[in-house]
């Protein structure tokens, strides 16, 4: 079930066409792995439909949810479900007489495989967690497979995401922790960047310059770790000298229990994700 096969045309229905869905579909179109006419998008409002027609660079098929033609999405053998979780109850599966053959890939946060299988009994379901950096081709995507997923369907699902993210396969129980680290993580990192740049502001630097320095420092630190195959402890030891500025800063962070606070933030986000199941 390859995405790109000259002898086979795979139609993909995209139920909800927000930023994440666009980030998944656009690289496939850019690389000509699928044609625009083989993408069928379903949106909730006329305003969304008009906005996509006006601003999306490819001429895909797009329908409003309450239109008669919207039923065409159920003829597609693959569905990418990317609505808001609270909108799931508004979607009603149509039986297209291909029992358990069609593939449904859900990126809905907190919606379990059991709920998906119950909601879409005529589909083989996959649960996916991805994060906002996917919109710049730097995403992290975790996948849990539902029952009876074929090897072809697994490979197809991976192809959907491999052009915009790194892919990891998990048992569903681990997706909550993956979500906490990778989907909530960018907000936590943003808060850390903001706090560090405020430290520079306190020392007299302009806000924008201070924030730029923090971002470049983080990017450089990540490159140093990856390119030299360092552990985080290795790097910390490289820049921490006896009685120096770094150990003074680290001492304050330990006194304020920053390490514990960050650990607990991930545990809290993971537990919250489990509550949504």
Q: Where are the domains of the chain?
A: 12-172, 185-275
| Domain 12-172: top CATH class | alpha beta
Fold assignment, 185-275: ProC C-terminal domain-like fold (1.10.3730)
Cα distances (angstroms) measured from residue 178 to each of 135, 157, 181, 221: 18, 18, 5, 23
CA atoms within 13 Å, Cβ hemisphere of 20: 23
Query: How confident is the model at residue 85, as a pLDDT?
Result: 85
- Pair of tokens at residue 148: 């009876």
Name every residue whose Cβ is closer than 8 Å to that of residue 2 and which is 6 or more positions away in sequence.
Answer: 8, 10, 155, 156, 159
Exposed e or buried b for every residue in 183-209, given b needs 16+ CB within 10 A?
Answer: bbbeeeeeeebeebbeebeeeeeeeee
Q: One digit per residue, pLDDT tens: the chain, 277 residues?
A: 656 555 457 899 999 999 999 999 999 999 999 999 999 999 988 999 999 999 999 999 999 988 888 888 988 999 999 998 888 888 877 665 555 579 999 999 889 999 999 999 989 999 999 999 999 999 999 999 998 899 999 999 999 999 999 999 999 999 999 999 999 999 999 999 999 999 999 999 999 999 999 999 999 999 999 999 999 999 999 999 999 999 999 999 999 999 999 999 999 999 998 887 7
Name every residue whose Cβ is closer than 8 Å to that of residue 63 and which is 6 or more positions away in sequence.
Answer: 40, 41, 42, 43, 49, 69, 70, 72, 73
Query: How confident is the model at residue 7, as a pLDDT?
Result: 47
Query: How confident is the model at residue 86, as a pLDDT?
Result: 86
Name every residue whose Cβ is closer than 8 Å to that of residue 144 and which is 6 or more positions away in sequence.
Answer: 113, 126, 127, 128, 169, 170, 171, 172, 175
| φ, ψ for residue 225, nearest 5 deg | -65, -50
């Amino acid at each position: 079930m390859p995405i790109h096969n000259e002898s086979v045309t795979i139609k993909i229905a995209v139920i909800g066409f927000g930023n994440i869905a666009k980030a998944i579909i656009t690289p496939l179109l850019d690389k000509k792995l699928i044609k625009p006419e083989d993408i069928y998008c379903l949106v909730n409002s006329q305003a969304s439909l008009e906005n996509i027609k006006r601003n999306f660079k490819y001429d895909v098929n797009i329908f409003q949810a309450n239109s008669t033609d919207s039923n065409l999405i159920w003829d597609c053998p693959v569905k990418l479900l990317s609505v808001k979780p609270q909108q799931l109850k508004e979607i009603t599966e149509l039986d297209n007489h291909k029992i358990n053959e069609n593939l449904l890939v859900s990126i809905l946060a907190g919606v379990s495989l059991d709920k998906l299988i119950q909601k879409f009994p005529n589909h083989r379901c996959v649960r996916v967690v991805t994060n906002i950096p996917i919109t710049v081709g730097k995403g992290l995507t975790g996948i849990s497979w539902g029952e009876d997923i074929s090897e072809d369907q697994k490979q197809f699902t991976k192809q959907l995401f491999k052009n915009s993210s790194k892919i990891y396969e998990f048992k569903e129980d681990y997706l909550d922790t993956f979500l906490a680290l990778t989907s909530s993580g960018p907000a936590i990192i943003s808060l850390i960047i903001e706090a560090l740049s405020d430290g520079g502001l306190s020392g007299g630097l302009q806000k924008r310059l201070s924030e730029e320095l923090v971002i470049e420092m983080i990017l450089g630190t990540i490159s140093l770790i990856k390119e030299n195959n360092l552990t985080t402890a290795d790097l910390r030891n490289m820049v921490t000298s006896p009685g120096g500025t770094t150990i003074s800063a680290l001492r304050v962070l330990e006194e304020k229990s920053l390490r514990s606070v960050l650990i607990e933030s991930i545990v809290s986000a993971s537990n919250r994700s489990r509550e949504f199941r």
